[in-house]
């Protein structure tokens, strides 16, 4: 099956990219470290050198009494990224909306050159918002979110935890959802915590308790939520989670993000340097610098509090 990824290479400073496909590059987000000036498509063609060193090691171990011979095969192409673009000169927004398959692509990499001409690679994990138990026709148009991870010493140290936490929330909601659910998408605001508390942790158990209380008066339903309602709760839970995180963000051009989300969960899409409490709510004290490809042009950054 592979670990499929889309790789976007910046073609000019105007924000256009060529989109390429990688069949294994999403594994451990390894393309983030494998793509560089010497290996723009990751991987290399070092198989003969490696095989030669391996045969020499065997020969040294065997000694003079054993003859080891053979012919090295021609090197195969071990580049991680297909050099032929699947689409040329697209914007980030077009790529995230029309090229990324949030179900089948596990990651997206954005490759550009920094001010010194060196390769700069940003890795994003994809999170599909569909549920496996849903009828297929319900999920054909379902998209998802793109999120960064926290890195340490070149390793994506938060990746497994991030994916596991989202998967746990998704499994819980999926188990409570059905086509004939008691809580519909139109009911979500009735069971969602106070929307004014932008930077307050949202607990799924609070949402489930409120939903159960509302649903107690409804009979004959197969699930607590409709799939569409469960999907909206999952989407909001992810945004609320990243709204509090100072080291990771959701890309504001993700297919499932709306401009209303920019206003409701602004810090989910930005990188605050710090937070301070004012009248019981948390506000940013400043922002880390973000490159143009990391945040949508039309998004308004909340004014930091000094």
Instruction: Look at residue 218 and tell me if it is in a domain.
Output: yes
Instruction: Look at residue 185 and tell me if it is in a domain.
Output: yes
Whose CA is closest to 24, among 2, 39, 43?
2
Instruction: Look at residue 57 and tell me if it is in a domain.
Output: no
Whose CA is closest to 168, among 102, 228, 224, 238?
238
The pTM (predicted TM-score) of the whole model is 0.86
Q: Are the C-beta atoms of 1 and 61 separated by less than 8 Å?
A: no
Instruction: Look at residue 163 and tell me if it is in a domain.
Output: yes
Task: Tell me the pLDDT of the chain (306 aa) as tens digits.
Answer: 789 999 999 998 788 999 999 999 999 999 999 999 889 999 754 445 444 554 565 556 656 665 655 555 555 567 899 999 999 999 999 999 999 999 999 999 999 988 888 899 999 999 999 998 888 878 888 999 999 999 999 999 999 999 999 999 999 999 999 999 999 999 999 898 865 445 456 789 989 999 998 887 666 688 999 999 999 999 999 999 999 888 999 999 999 999 999 999 999 999 999 989 888 777 899 999 999 999 998 898 989 987
Give the distance from CA 304 to its chain's centroid. 27
Q: Are the C-beta atoms of 269 and 252 separated by less than 8 Å?
A: yes
Q: Measure Cα distances from 94 to 88, 147, 232, 255 in Å.
A: 11, 17, 23, 9
pLDDT of residue 54: 47
Q: Measure Cα distances from 197 to 83, 201, 235, 275, 279 in Å.
A: 47, 9, 17, 14, 11
Task: Provide the token pair at 199.
Answer: 């930077």
CA distance 269 to 155: 22
Instruction: Look at residue 90 and tell me if it is in a domain.
Output: no
Show the domain range for 241.
149-306
Residue owning tokens 């297929």: 136
How many domains does the chain divide into?
Answer: 1
pLDDT of residue 249: 97
Instruction: Look at residue 237 and tell me if it is in a domain.
Output: yes
Q: Are the C-beta atoms of 134 and 114 separated by less than 8 Å?
A: no
pLDDT of residue 50: 46
Tell me the three-class secondary structure of the chain, residue by residue. Answer: CCCCEEEEEEEECCCEEEEEEECCCCHHHCHHHHCCCCCCCCCCCCHHHHHHHHHHHHHHHHCCCCCCCCCCCCCCCCCCECCCCCEEEECHHHHHHHHCCCCCCCEEEEEEECCCCCEEEEEEEEEECCCCCCCHHHHCCCCEEEECCCCECCECCCHHHHHHHHHHHHHHHHHCEECCEEECHHHHHHHCCCCCCCCCCCCHHHHHHHHHHHHCCCCCCCEEEEHHHHHHHHHHHHHHHHHCCCCCCECCCCCCCCHHHHHHCHHHHCCEEEEEEECCEEEEEEECCCCHHHCCCCCCCCCCCC
Instruction: Look at residue 188 and tell me if it is in a domain.
Output: yes
Q: Are the C-beta atoms of 224 and 211 separated by less than 8 Å?
A: yes
Instruction: Look at residue 293 and tell me if it is in a domain.
Output: yes
């Amino acid at each position: 099956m592979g670990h499929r990824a889309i790789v976007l290479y910046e073609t000019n400073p105007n924000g256009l990219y060529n989109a390429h496909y990688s069949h294994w590059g999403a594994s451990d987000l390894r393309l983030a470290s494998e793509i560089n000036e010497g290996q723009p498509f990751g991987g290399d063609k070092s198989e003969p050198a490696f095989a030669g060193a391996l045969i020499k090691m065997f020969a040294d171990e065997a000694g003079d009494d054993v003859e080891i011979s053979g012919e090295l095969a021609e090197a195969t192409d071990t580049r991680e990224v297909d050099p032929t673009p699947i689409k040329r000169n697209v914007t980030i927004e077009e790529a995230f909306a029309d090229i990324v398959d949030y179900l089948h692509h596990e990651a997206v990499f954005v490759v550009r050159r920094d001010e010194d001409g060196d390769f700069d690679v940003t890795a994003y994990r994809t999170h599909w918002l569909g549920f496996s138990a849903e009828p297929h026709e319900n999920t054909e148009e379902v998209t998802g979110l793109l999120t960064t991870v926290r890195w340490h010493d070149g390793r994506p140290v938060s990746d497994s935890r991030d994916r596991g936490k989202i998967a746990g929330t998704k499994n819980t909601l999926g188990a409570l959802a059905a086509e004939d659910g008691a809580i519909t998408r139109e009911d979500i605001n009735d069971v969602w915590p106070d929307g004014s508390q932008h930077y307050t942790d949202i607990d799924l158990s609070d949402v489930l308790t409120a939903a159960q209380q509302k649903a107690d008066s409804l009979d004959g339903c197969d699930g607590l939520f409709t799939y569409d309602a469960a999907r909206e709760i999952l989407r909001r839970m992810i945004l609320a989670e990243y709204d509090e995180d100072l080291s990771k963000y959701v890309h504001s051009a993700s297919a499932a993000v709306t401009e209303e989300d920019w206003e409701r969960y602004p810090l989910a899409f930005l990188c605050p340097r710090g937070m301070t409490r004012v009248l019981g709510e948390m506000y940013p004290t400043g922002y880390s610098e973000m490159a143009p490809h990391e945040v949508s042009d039309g998004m308004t950054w909340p004014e930091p509090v000094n």
